[in-house]
Structure 1
Amino acid sequence: MSRKTQAQRVREILENEMASGKLPPGSRVDEDSVATRLEVSRTPVREAVLQMVQDGLLEKRPRQGAFVPNLGLREMVQMFEFTAELSGICGKYAARRMTPDNLRELRAIHKKMESLLGKGDIHAYADMNTDFHVYIMRLARNNYMFDTTHNYGLRLLGYFRTHLFYPGKAEQDYHDHCTLMGAFERQDGDLAYELLRQHATIHGDVLAEYLLRSEPSPVPAARPEPEPVRISKPAPSRVSKPAA
């Protein structure tokens, strides 16, 4: 296996761990630990981490190493706006450019998601949901668009996974996909664009919980040591001598 292929494999594994929540926001990516765990030398790990830093998927901190970015509220809202538009554009071109074989493959993924939802397996449904959207990005047949949409979308996948575990959200997600499949069946690019853009709507309650989960655990404030109680000794009583 060539070094380049190893670096690509390492990057793919790290991206999957970010998407699944195994590497949540704020996590440190230790190159030695990753190399040991994946049974590769440190060189391809270093290359993969460097690529991810350049693409904004990881951030490098002086003398600390690489970390999964911890997004703030303002940054997340802006990223949602941008990613929603990109997803819509991918859907627009995918609807126009997918072949009958592509449509059959997308139907197969959609059918598997229906089965998983019926079984109540939301974890597997969330994984398949990622596959569904990534395949749509690829069907746009534009490498620049795919790379940009995928990189930004990856940084928000933790939110989308959290969203699916809220009561009724996975069912709503599947309903949205059913409507979207109708647009693909008719090759209606404009409708696919609008549906995918709306699909990335931010839900405030989920976003708040996701941001709170991403924060470091609060450290209990140290209680001050109680001051020792000092008991003052009573002054010796002075007995007046009787007068002579």
Structure 2
Amino acid sequence: MASQTRMVMDTILTKIDTGTLNPGDVIAEDALIEELEISRTPLREALLQLEAHGLVTRQPRKGVVVFKPTLEEFLAILEVHAKLEGQAAGLAARRLSPTRRDALREVVDKCAAHEAQHGDRNHDAYYQLNLDFHRIVGEASGNPFLLDMIKSNARKLMAYYRARYRTVGAIKASALEHASIAGAIITRQSDEAEALMTRHVQFDHVTAMDLLASFD
């Protein structure tokens, strides 16, 4: 039972991570039961756990849907997320290992190469590179509890970050910011790395409204 519940959770989380499920989308319970060949009990348990983490909500006459924040909720979550990501970058600058340093340089180079080759196109592929960059920084922080908190918050915002890269110039700006953040981390400038990452993760009020509207 526990293993089936975990399987259901992992399946739904993967669909959220990949954009198969977006904010406001209904969780098709019958389809999941058929896809995973399970009973309704582990599905309900999985949905309860995801609801407890704030990743899905129950709506009258719709059922369980992927969490879709209001503007106020979006800005509040973003404020916390930016601080967590910034803290991870600051810790990474103090704790960076040679292996993580090499991985960080490699992903920054890939981001720059993608922008040089594709410009504003192929934004989904760039988004995967962006996820790799933030994962490496999070892992380099050496704090698994902080990394778990970042992952949990990121899933509430992931669709909006993905949509952000459809905007003209967003990929180029991101690639340049990744290079600056990595430079501060590699040169052990903890305060600078934290400030740069916090600013990198934030959205202004107008951009937040535009991104929220894109999922209406």
Shorter-chain TM-score: which interval?
Answer: 0.7 to 0.9
Could you say which structure has the larger radius of gyration? 1
Unaligned runs of 5+ in 2: none
RMSD across aligned C-alpha pairs, in angstroms? 2.2
2:57 to 48, 56, 59: 59
Deviates more, 1:59-68 or 1:152-161: 59-68
Unaligned runs of 5+ in 1: 216-244
1:115–1:49 distance in 2 versus 1, CA, 3 Å:
farther
Q: Which has the higher helix share?
A: 2
1:7–1:103 distance in 2 versus 1, CA, 3 Å:
farther
Q: TM-score, normalised by structure 1?
A: 0.77
Aligned to 1:95: 93
1:41 aligns with 2:49: no
1:183–1:23 distance in 2 versus 1, CA, 3 Å:
same
1:197–1:45 distance in 2 versus 1, CA, 3 Å:
same
Offset of 1:139 from its aligned partner? 2.2
Offset of 1:126 from its aligned partner? 0.7
CA contact (8 A) 2:96 2:186 kept: no
Aligned to 2:79: 81
* Secondary structure at 2:214 match in 1: helix
Offset of 1:203 from its aligned partner? 3.4
Q: TM-score, normalised by structure 2?
A: 0.87
Matched residues in 1 for 2:200 and 2:210: separation?
19
1:162–1:203 distance in 2 versus 1, CA, 3 Å:
farther
Deviates more, 1:42-51 or 1:102-111: 42-51
Matched residues in 1 for 2:27 and 2:57: separation?
10
CA contact (8 A) 1:116 1:122 kept: no
Equivalent positions of 1:137-152 (< 5 A) are: 137-152=138-153
1:22–1:191 distance in 2 versus 1, CA, 3 Å:
same
1:8–1:191 distance in 2 versus 1, CA, 3 Å:
farther
Matched residues in 2 for 1:5 and 1:115: separation?
41
CA contact (8 A) 2:127 2:162 kept: yes
Size of the aligned set, in residue pairs, is 212
Matched residues in 1 for 2:206 and 2:130: separation?
21
Offset of 1:15 from its aligned partner? 2.4
Structure 2 counterpart of 1:180, which letter? I
Give aligned-pair identity as a percent: 26
Following TM superposition, the consecutive aligned residue runs of length 4 or more in structure 1 with deviations greater than 6 angstroms are: none
Aligned to 1:197: 198
CA contact (8 A) 2:6 2:46 kept: yes
1:166–1:14 distance in 2 versus 1, CA, 3 Å:
same
1:115-174: CA deviation from partner (whole Å, max 9, x where unpaired): 322332221001221122123222222232122221112111111111111111110000
* Secondary structure at 1:176 match in 2: helix
Structure 2 counterpart of 1:11, which letter? M
